[in-house]
Amino acid sequence: MRKILLLSCLVLSSLLFTSIRALSADVYEISVQGPISPPVASYIEDSLSKAGEARAQALLILLDTPGGLDTSMREIVKAIMDAPVPVIVYVFPSGARAASAGAIILIAAHVAAMAPGTNVGAAHPVSLGGGEMDKEMKTKVVQDAQAYARSLAAKRGRNVEWAARAVRESVSVTADEALKAGVIDAVAGSVDDLLAKVDGKVVEVGVRKVALRTKGARINVLEIPFKYRFLAFISDPNVAYLLMMIGFYAILFEIYSPGAIFPAVLGGISLILAFYAFQTIPINYAGLFLIILGVIFFVLELKVASYGLLSVAGVVSIVIGSIMLVNLPGTWLSISWSSILTVAVISLVFFLGVLSYAVKAQMSKVKTGKEGMIGEVGVARTDIAPFGKAFLHGELWDARSEAPVRAGERVVVTAVEGMMVKVKKEGGN
């Protein structure tokens, strides 16, 4: 009997410990500030995996984004829909926004919340090919995006019509308006306030119902790893553009001044990083070819006497190509004018200055070795008829001359024969 009572106490203690442990589980927190890109999608997926392994109460995403790539947004949404723990998306702090792709991510969350002074919406899709979509294609894209937003809103029990309007009409609302319209679940001034407000809310995670126990939960902040910070940095269109131009110029400098090594290494690394970024950024290849054509014009300027016309053509080609390369004004997917003008000026200085100097150095007369002796001027120290001594380069050389040369006369080297130089009188034939 005593053993049965002891066993019962152990079982009850175990159950109580498990219950307490579940109630006091951490809430994992991450911060997404900036465009939605592949590195950001990978960061969120990794964070969900860590939260799931730790059996956290929820993953809290502090969101402030102008939007981003549709492919990355859909990866994030799929990760949220298949998440092992509830996902709380909180547009925070005041002044933040969940625009475009951010609005869809907010709708997809198990719990959607906003801080006062924030806004959500403007989810109309944009063309990512550098050109304007035709009417039929534009209709298809908008209809697809609408259906996607409506299905997510219906899944989470949110305002389906508003989700469609956010895509179709680019409507945007404040936090209070979003709460009244049934777009979000709560408006909270701080993380602690939010966790207290959503405590006890039942959400559907996979095929099971989960009651959130977030009030007073400990916050475990997951900082974004350096890898994802670095990849997100180079995925910025301005950074990728500058990396590409640095790569082009560094490789060309190595070609015109072989043996420097460092420019080749720098150029190779820069181009690889730029190509990685361009895999994540939709670019216009006509713009890329114009930039390459501009570089070719600069190279030709060093070979052809165009009186600067090729340099002007190079600058114009690079500027136009840069404008066309990633051209989506009003979105994060655009190259700033400051970056374009900086590259244009540096291009002109680089090719007319640095590379011309390198070419001149290659074409200049050799100044070392036997070849460097030819054409040098010295002084005959003895009579040279046909043999004698000549002072050249601070050294006394054995000299030979077909025409007699008197001591003290200036001589010019015409050939080097072993340890002897062949000379002639300066000004003579």
Find tokens 């974004």 and name the residue. Answer: 224
- Number of helices and strands (H, E) in the chain? 16, 16
Dist. CA 231–CA 218, nearest whole Å: 30
* Prior bond of 93 cis (ω within 30°): yes
Q: Which of 100, 270, 347, 401 is catalytic?
A: 100
Q: Which residues pair with 63 in a beta bridge?
A: 32, 91
Task: State which H helix or E strand residue 112 sits in.
Answer: strand 111-114
Contact 380, 399 (CB under 8 A): yes
Contact 44, 88 (CB under 8 A): no
Known catalytic membership, residue 140: yes
Dist. CA 149–CA 15, nearest whole Å: 42
Known catalytic membership, residue 303: no
Q: Which of 13, 78, 138, 140 is catalytic?
A: 140
Find tokens 């949110």 and name the residue. Answer: 158
Cα of 137 vs its chain's centroid, Å: 29
β-bridge pairing 395-400 and 420-425: parallel
Q: Which of 68, 123, 113 is nearest to 92 (CA)?
A: 113
Sheet with 172-174, strands from edge to edge, namely 97-99, 119-121, 172-174
Active-site residue set: 100, 140
